[in-house]
Every structure is written in structure tokens, then in C-alpha cells.
Amino acid sequence: MISDRVRQMAPSQTLELNSKIAQLRKEGKSIIALNSGEPDFNTPQPIIEAAYQAMLEGKTKYTQTPGIPELREAIARKLSDENKIDYSIDEILVSTGAKYALTNTFLVLCNPGDEVIIPTPCWVSYVEMVKLAGALPVLVPVCEDNHLDLKAIDKAISSKTKVILINSPNNPTGAVYSQDSLMAVAELAVRHELYIVTDEVYEKLIYGTTPHVSMASFSPGIKERTVTINAFSKAYAMTGWRLGYAAGPKQVIKGISAIQGHTTSNATSFAQWAAIAALESCGAYVEEMRQAFEKRRDYLYGRVSSLPGIRCPYPDGAFYLFPDVSELFGRRRGDRVIHDAPALADYLLDEAGVALVPGNAFEAPQAIRFTYSNSMEKLNEAMDRIERAVGKLF
């Protein structure tokens, strides 16, 4: 029999949906995917060329488990220049994607029975990562405007709390948390001697006036309790390259490295050399993508907001809309009843050929997630289809 650990783990709804989409397309059905958190742009040319050059030069062997020194030095420069955090390279570790860095961080910080506070809605994998470490996820809903409920976070802290997890810009809401609210969370962590794990993978995809702020930048006392997670996937369109990193207290990074050393070892060697080019040569490419996402956000927000029965908060970052669709619950099309968000997602997939992720995957059963990391042409076609399908519910 398989382990309790696996039997108690919920499958990733986002990845399961990808499999379903692939099957439907194989059957010849036209599906527009607004479900995947993946830029539709190709990886910038300087990154590809750097990887190719590294392979030609024989940089295809094992590296140090925490990553090549050259990349960790480049990450340290980036964190100092952009995020105002100073790290030595032995406080930085490169991993096979941010997912792996996050999972290992919880394994290092948490003992069985410890609690991790997670503001919700939250990314689909956080809860399972915490459970995998033997810890208990404590879910704390955000305020109605999708920003942190500081009083609720304070109230959720117990003698078992070990970590507060923060994700800004947020997946799935697109909220960018203010410096004041992040500072308040940091002060709670210091007061109660907790760690902060901050997932900042969408930091370069911001469109509003609220800037991204790294929590570890506030003061040395907070930095010592913060593990900053980031990746190359979203900002540099490198999702398939599987490259992320963690920066934090030396003993935590050493622990993550120990786990990584017995599991994946180093991240792919030539991808690490390519990541240096991403950090040092691709700012213009990132800005071009950010501007394209901003135009798509404005367009999609206007279309989604006009749908009957849907209330859509305005996002300031990432590439998601996360509207409340609960007013559609109970609506029917023939014998088909929209009982909940999964039923609505299934209906839109079948009726409109558009794939969306129900909010249940993000601990928000009243909502559904739209992704605008797709071309404007596809967004327009998808919304035309959705408008017709939703109209049939009225």
C-alpha cells in the first residue's frame, strides 16, 4: 500500500486540467487555455544563446549542489540592486524551480505539528507543500479587496505557529501587498519569533502604483527570519527551464542544500549559465512582456467585468483575474445546473471551449481564475465564447 503521505495529498487541479485539455485537443476540439500560469512568449534570445554556448564549452557536468558561484553572485547583485537585500553566496541556493525551493524550505523549517499561516486565496501547491513537511496549514482569508487581513493573521498565531507565508504579487488574485501591510506582518513575525517565507516570483509583473517590496529588506532583524523565494520562470518566460532560488539565513540555506543534495543535486548546469544572461542582459525583454501583459489585463478586465453575475477585483500584478462568480450558482442551462465554481468551469469548457481554473483549487470556492498570459487574439475569441455561454444561463 502507498504511504499515508501520498494518499492524503490532493492532486494539482491545474496540472490535471492540462491533461484534460490535451485529451480534448487530441479529439479535435478547439480549446482556448486561460488556465495555465505560463507566459506565451518564447524565452529571450540572449538566454537561449547563453545556454547553447555553455553546452558548446562543456558546461554540462555536475555543479555544486547550491549552484554555480557565478550565478549565485549574479543573484546576490540582483537582490542588492533591485530588492535592497544584501546576501553572501552561501546564503543563496539555486534549485530546480521555485516549487522545489519552497518545498525544501518547509521541510527545513517545520517539524510535524508545526503550523504555517497561509493567506487565502493562495496558490494551489502551498497547502500540499506544508502538509508534505508534516506541518499544518492554517488558512486565513484576505479582506474583500484581496489585501491582507492583519487582524486575522495576528489572531491565527498560536504556540504552534512556525511560519507565515506571503505571496506578492499574488497568484491567483493579482494583488500587490502594500509596504505597510508587509511591515506589519514582519513585525508580527519578529514579536512571535516566527519565520517568513515570501514567494516573489511575479515581482517584475506589476502594473499599478503599488511597488513590489521584499520583506527581507525592512531591517536586519526581519531579514534573519525571512526566506525569499524567486524564479526565472515568469519574468523571463523560462517555465520549462525549471530554475528558481532561495535566499535566507545561512543555516536555513545549508539545510535546503542538504536535502537537495540527496534528491535532485544541482539544477541543470547549462541552464544556470543561461540564467546569468537573464539577470544581466534581458531587462528590455522583461519590460516588453510586462507592457504586453498590462494591455491584456486592461482588455480582459473590461470584458470580464461586463459579464452578468460576475464581480471582478482589479489586479495590480501577476497575470490573473480572479472574479467572484457566486451569483451564477444555481443558474441552469437545460438540465445542467451550475452548482459551484467547478461546475461553472466544466460548463465553460464544454459549452465555450475555454479552460479556466475553479477557485476551489486556490481555497476560494466562490471564484474562478482567468489567465491573461495568452495572445490578445486568443483572449478576444475566448471572451466572445464565454459571453455567449454565460448569456445562455440567463
Give the SS3 label for residue 54.
Answer: helix
Q: What is the mean pLDDT of residues 99-120?
A: 98
What's the whole-model pTM score? 0.95
Q: Does an H or E element contain 13, and which?
A: helix 13-26
Distances (CA, A) of 311 to 99, 283, 298, 304, 366: 31, 35, 15, 8, 11
At 16, the pLDDT band (50, 70, 90 cuts) reads: confident
At 23, the pLDDT band (50, 70, 90 cuts) reads: confident
Question: What phi, psi does 24 have (nearest 5°)?
Answer: -65, -40
Spell out the residues 6+ positions from residue 358 whose beta carbon is closer than 8 angstroms to its own. Answer: 13, 340, 341, 342, 344, 345, 365, 367, 368, 369
The confidence score (pLDDT) of residue 26 equals 87
Domains of the chain with CATH codes: 4-42+284-391 (3.90.1150.10), 45-282 (3.40.640.10)
At 381, the pLDDT band (50, 70, 90 cuts) reads: very high
At 285, the pLDDT band (50, 70, 90 cuts) reads: very high
Provide the 8-state DSSP code for 162: E
Instruction: Answer whether residue 14 shows pLDDT above 80.
Output: no
The confidence score (pLDDT) of residue 6 equals 85
Rg (the chain; Cα; Å): 21
Pairing of strands 161-167, 115-120: parallel
Residue of 158, 175, 150, 132 whose CA lies nearest to 312:
175
Q: What is the mean pLDDT of residues 234-261?
A: 98
pLDDT tens-digit series, residues 229-245: 999 999 999 999 999 99
Instruction: Answer whether residue 207 shows pLDDT above 90.
Output: yes
The confidence score (pLDDT) of residue 392 equals 96
Q: Does an H or E element contain 139, and which?
A: strand 136-141
Q: What is the mean pLDDT of residues 332-338?
A: 93
The confidence score (pLDDT) of residue 232 equals 98
Instruction: Answer whether residue 64 shows pLDDT above 90.
Output: yes
Per the CB < 8 A criterion, the answer to whether 241 and 100 are in contact is: no
Q: What is the mean pLDDT of residues 59-66?
A: 98
Q: What is the mean pLDDT of residues 333-346?
A: 95
Q: What's the whole-number average pLDDT of the chain?
A: 96
Q: What is the mean pLDDT of residues 121-139?
A: 97
Residue of 145, 168, 264, 156 whose CA lies nearest to 214:
168
Instruction: Answer whether residue 11 shows pLDDT above 80.
Output: no
Q: Sign of the C-alpha dihedral, residues 124, 222, 232, 301?
A: positive
Give the SS3 label for residue 237.
Answer: coil
The confidence score (pLDDT) of residue 360 equals 96
Pairing of strands 357-358, 368-371: antiparallel
Q: What is the mean pLDDT of residues 182-197?
A: 97
Higher pLDDT, 255 or 36: 255
